[in-house]
Amino acid sequence: MNVLSIAGSDPSSGAGIQSDIKTFSSLGAYGLTVLTSITSQNTTKFDKTEPVSSKMVKNQIDSIFSDFKISAIKIGMVYNSSIIRVISSRLSGLNIPIVIDPVIKSTTGGMLLEKKAFADLKKFLIPLAYVITPNVFEAEKLTGIRIKTKKDLNKCATSIQKMGPKNVIITGYQLQKNKIADFVLEDSKFYFISGNKLSPANHGSGCTFSSSLTFSIAQGKNLKDAVKFAKNYTYKSIKNAKKIGKGIPITRISEKSDENKKILYNAINNLVNLKNFYSIIPEVQTNFVYSKSHPKSMRDILGVSGRIVKAGKDVIVAGNLEYGGSKHVGNALLEMSKKFPSINSAINLKYDQKLISKFKKKGFIVQSYNRVEEPINIKNKENSSISWGIKNAIKNSKRAPDIVYHTGDLGKEPMILIFGKNPKDVIKKVSSIL
């Protein structure tokens, strides 16, 4: 998945375009960049800014768009009117979600937007946003409304939404003593996403929030799930901030890069883009799992903590990737890997006899079980049906099956499970019958 950041350079790599690349790549996306300005700054002092010519901004955008498929765009520091206008003219009418982080001033006091560019930012750029993420200070500057109470937040977010963006998130509102909240105006709904406050000042958290939000939106998440994801990711990066220079600490990605997560993220992204994939999603929807080798429990198995769902002909990933995220498909994989440890990934699909025939024709090993034969004590025990079923289906197998299916029972939807060594292997099997 490719994500684009249009922003300024921060040579300390705490904020700006460098920080965005760090976030995108730690999450497993490929980060493309269009540079709008070069700044000289470090963790103690903001020195100078030199904007890139608007012609060169245009050329960068054209180079990127003529080559790459882009799933979402983040816009940060834009600095002046001519840059704003050229970005607006190149991005107008594109069907790609745009996240605008309307940065005005750095934590160390540097101006990231010329005063005289405010009007053009509102007129030409803000209307293009799927979501705009001002902090309280920026929201006040954009609207002229002072934010003290929750009522002011409503007024302010509504006023920003009138400028044209679909959704507004005002970040960093102090809800209670130790709570910091993001105030969301999604279409016409208002809500808070609240979290614990971390006190030390840091360099980079604003950029980390908007870029992780952009990543999550690129994955097709709904706004609320995307905000929760970004808030959690940013919280961890502040908690893990480090004093690298002499001044304020720089936010860092806390998680040791989880290769399995990246692999499954990418696979899910390929999956939702498979032509006609929606047509093989069952009524109970789909999950896709990937485990560490020799999983001992569900905690070793990554899955979507919601589901991969169909909405008409679109496929949406509802939820985040988490260990223990899938009970049903996770349990199936756990059982399969006990007998066949080389199998580490699985997905469930809608049952259709024609699909089974196609799989058999392709030479895949297909097994099945009969839920009508399931003992009553297993039926009554939460989440044990699937383990029983898989155990039954494979009890005489010498080789790992590619497919296991059952044709349902009273009130139980029939189902196909595809197994593979890894997510790529599973996708190959799925695409072979589409």
Residue 212: CB minimum distance to ligand PXL, A = 14
Residue 134: CB minimum distance to ligand PXL, A = 12
Rank residues 136 and 390 by Cβ distance to ligand PXL and give the closer one.
136
Among 6, 73, 103, 302, binds ligand PXL (CB under 6 A): 103
Among 31, 206, 249, 423, binds ligand PXL (CB under 6 A): 206
**What is d(CA 186, CA 238) in angstroms, rounded to the nearest whole number?**
26
Spatial CB neighbours of 394, under 8 Å, sequence gap ≥ 6: 336, 339, 340, 367, 400, 401, 404
Among 6, 7, 113, 272, binds ligand PXL (CB under 6 A): 7
The SS3 assignment for 383 reads coil
Show the CA angle centred on residue 230, arms to residues 227 and 235, nearest 5°. Answer: 120
Q: Is 212 in the site for ligand PXL (CB under 6 A)?
A: no
Among 1, 5, 6, 8, binds ligand PXL (CB under 6 A): 8
Rank residues 230 and 264 by Cβ distance to ligand PXL and give the closer one.
230
Residue 111: CB minimum distance to ligand PXL, A = 10
Among 76, 102, 303, 389, binds ligand PXL (CB under 6 A): 76
Q: Is 84 in the site for ligand PXL (CB under 6 A)?
A: no
* Window 160-199: contact mask with ligand PXL (x via CB under 6 A): ----------------------------------------
Among 4, 32, 70, 77, binds ligand PXL (CB under 6 A): 77
CB distance 356 to 405 below 8 Å = yes
Kindly state the greatest CA–CA separation across the chain.
76
**What is d(CA 107, CA 321) in angstroms, rounded to the nearest whole number?**
32
Residue 323 vs residues 73, 301, 346, 390: alpha-carbon distances, Å:
28, 5, 14, 21
**What is d(CA 173, CA 162) in angstroms, rounded to the nearest whole number?**
21
Q: Is 249 in the site for ligand PXL (CB under 6 A)?
A: no
**What is d(CA 370, CA 373) in angstroms, rounded to the nearest whole number?**
6
**What is d(CA 420, CA 409) in angstroms, rounded to the nearest whole number?**
26
Residues that bind ligand PXL (CB under 6 A): 7-8, 10, 15-16, 39, 41, 76-77, 103, 106, 112, 206-207
